[in-house]
Amino acid sequence: MSTIRGRFQKDADKLVQWYTASIPFDQRLYQHDIAASMAHAKMLAKQSIITDKEAELVGTGLVAIREEIEQGRFQFKAELEDIHMNIEARLAEKIGDVAGKLHTARSRNDQVAVDLRLFCKEAIAEAISGLRGLQSALLDVAEANKDVVVPGYTHLQRAQPILLAHHLLAYFEMLERDVQRFQDCLKRTDVLPLGSGALAGVPYPIDRAFVAKQLCFSQISQNSLDAVSDRDFVIEYEAAASVAMMHLSRLGEELVLWSSAEFGFVEIDDAYATGSSIMPQKKNPDVAELGRGKTGRVIGHLMGMLTTMKGLPLSYNRDLQEDKEGLFDTVDTLLSTLAVFAGMVKTLEVKAERTGQAAGQGYILATDVADYLVKKGLPFRQAHSVVAKLVSYAVEKGKELNQLDLGEYRQFSPLFDAGVLDVSVVSSIKARNAVGGTAPEQVDAQLARAKGLVKSGGGGY
């Protein structure tokens, strides 16, 4: 039977108890609930709302309950609905009626709000740490393969040659924006709602600043109605996680492609691949594929939370119980994906000979030939037209551009001279020396900058 019986003359139907209970999943918040309760008890004593002895007794009882949970000796009861009532009921068994004083000047509405914010603050820190770990793995591979050339693609068609390090640094930049998003999310998560009561505040001389300091919150909520019903911080976390997972999915997709026989640019370590149940030759990039697949679930949780919130009037509504399962799964999915991707990236074997061959094929230097004509004074649009015709000719003859002789070049423009025969993958890459380009000098600068960001732990540009 629930300890909150009040005006009701009979217990809730068993099916209703099961349907409304959140203890199967919100028991995960036990540490946060206990920490918030201990801070609240200290504040009540400081403000002489309860005695110091009572606060000490509450604190001792809560520490014992925490140990019971961590040691697997705590009996969670569905009829007590949630983690808050499970802990409060057990506290009453341990210390008697004094346990009832702990709920003075607070409601389960602001209690769950503070627990969830404490959880999200930790999750944000772990997400940033996981992002930094993957960034470090990308930098390790980029540094070890600084001179490796790969084809750059648009529309999944070979476009221009680039350095592999430049390609990997593109993912570093994506993850850096993810770090910034989580850092920004923390600003609005780091707000203490405790002290808001059920919805209107509390009629006791509480010290919210003291509680905020005890729980390491940098701000205090300014409106009690908003504080108990706000889940923007959950939505923001899930939004940041969705974008991060989208980036991981893109990386996973490229590793799936690059590890195929058709590309052959990398080999995924055996520890991050699986075999086939029927085809013994297969080495499947299942880790990359699962990261790609799990992205949909994370995005789904974001859509679910937005949909839950869009119809809620002020203030607290039981719909908000639906904020936790999706959030917990999002946190677990993001952190595990970041960890496993970091290991997979760090152990990649780059097939430099194969990438170099691919970077020199498919008329990939056509833009450089057009740029050559531009430097001779031809407007780019005309140069583009000339080289397009030149490529068509080469295709018809079954030749790559570097297999054409000067006479063949000059059939399409008198501006071609012997210098065009020096256009190469190396010259193409070196030429792109503007900030953000793939030239070795620029890649070295970006590697240094990236390593500095990871080392400092900071974000931003």
CA distance 190 to 89: 29
Largest CA distance in the chain: 100
CA distance 329 to 241: 11
CA distance 99 to 55: 9
Q: Among 2, 48, 107, 155, which one carries the catalytic annotation?
A: 155
Distances in whole angstroms, Cα of residue 147 to Cα of each of 84, 142, 256, 340, 383: 58, 9, 23, 26, 30
Burial class from Cβ neighbours inside 10 Å (0-12, 13-18, 19+) for residue 418 reads exposed
CA distance 433 to 136: 25
Q: Is beta strand 219-220 parallel, antiparallel or unpaired with respect to 191-192?
A: parallel
Left if phi > 0, otherwise alpha if psi is -120 to 50, otherwise beta: which for 48? left
Annotated catalytic residue 276:
yes
Residues 151 and 159 sit within 8 Å (Cβ to Cβ): yes
Q: Which two tokens stand for residue 63?
A: 């520490």
Distances in whole angstroms, Cα of residue 234 to Cα of each of 23, 131, 211, 324, 374: 19, 19, 22, 9, 53
Burial class from Cβ neighbours inside 10 Å (0-12, 13-18, 19+) for residue 205 reads exposed
DSSP 11-60: PPPHHHHHHH--HHHHGGGHHHHHHHHHHHHHHHHHTTSS-HHHHHHHHH
CA distance 372 to 350: 32
The torsion angles phi and psi of 438, rounded to 5 degrees, stand at -95, 0
Left if phi > 0, otherwise alpha if psi is -120 to 50, otherwise beta: which for 367? alpha
- Smallest Cα–Cα separation from 87: which of 42, 45, 31, 138? 31
Q: Among 218, 260, 276, 427, which one carries the catalytic annotation?
A: 276
Which distant-in-sequence residues (6+ apart) come within 8 Å of 433 by Cβ? 439, 441, 442
Positions marked active-site: 155, 276
